[in-house]
Structure 1
Amino acid sequence: MKTADLPVSTHPLVTVRHLQRDDARAWYAYLADPAVVEHTSWDLRGIVDLLPNFDAYASAEPASPMRLAVVLRDGGQLVGTIGFNAISPQHRTAEIAYDLAPAVWGQGVATSLVNAVVDWGLQRLGFVRIQAAVLDSNERSIRVLERCAFAREGYLRCYRQIRGKSGNFWLYARIAGNP
């Protein structure tokens, strides 16, 4: 889902813009980093595996996924993505997803952007529930969600296949009206 209105990043290091096909090389470069692979459900064998996603992200269909580029304010280098998957216009729900290059880890980028994008999704897009499914081993992302007022709702055993193995996930959610 592509929108004209974008969330505003107040973080001094980064801002957001629409993700573009020519971001694929930089996106794949950090997604292939073993430190990133360890905590994501991406199963990428090459840059070509990312390309079909760009058509979905460019769609104007309300239920299509939405992904924004996270770029450095100084120089515009892609250092992450953030957006919504599993969007249900009927139920006014979505699942937040994000990934960052290790170069910006530990600087408050994820917390700042998750807060901004979730607030925008609840206020501007009209979602009433935004959830997140996070690998149980991804302690950094779990801390981000908890700092952003997401409530832990359950444990999803064998929820997704992660590079050929069943992965266990924690389910978190933030509900409109519950900051």
Structure 2
Amino acid sequence: MNKEERQKRLSELLTARKQKEIFQQKMKKEKEVKDLFEEVFDNLLEIEILDTNKSDLIVGNFSGTFPIAFWNRIDWEKGNVNKLELNIQDIKNIPLMLHSKGFDTTTPIYAFWGYDDYPCVKTSLTTQMLSKIDDIIWLGIDLYIYCPTQRFVIEFFHDDSVNIGWI
């Protein structure tokens, strides 16, 4: 094996190792999310952990629907976005509030975190889920609950603000 062949082989090995590390990291994050939801909801909430491609599609759809500021928050001043600010006590009433605005809260929603690359979780918006939202948020700094079909979002931001937005 000459020098060029050795360098090429080394490059291939390093690339394969890097891909394996990326895959292992993704699997670890999927397991963290799955374990968290199972622990918090004791398997009573039906969930689906999305793979990277599906998660990227959901987050891409979200950022294409709602304007995102450079500090990774919805830019409520831009675009045609309606906003309703909530306090912590109102969280359990979110399904009723959305229903009063004409939204069908039985459609699937996707939960994802604003930082890091945890996978999206497909589930339903229930008062049971919202009653334990503090247990879910700790995995990342900010949490978004997004419904692409109904075009609404619930933003749990790290400054303790909670907002519902819709287009």
TM-score, normalised to structure 2, is 0.29
TM-score, normalised to structure 1, is 0.28
More strand by share: 1
In our comparison, the structure showing a higher alpha carbon Rg is 2
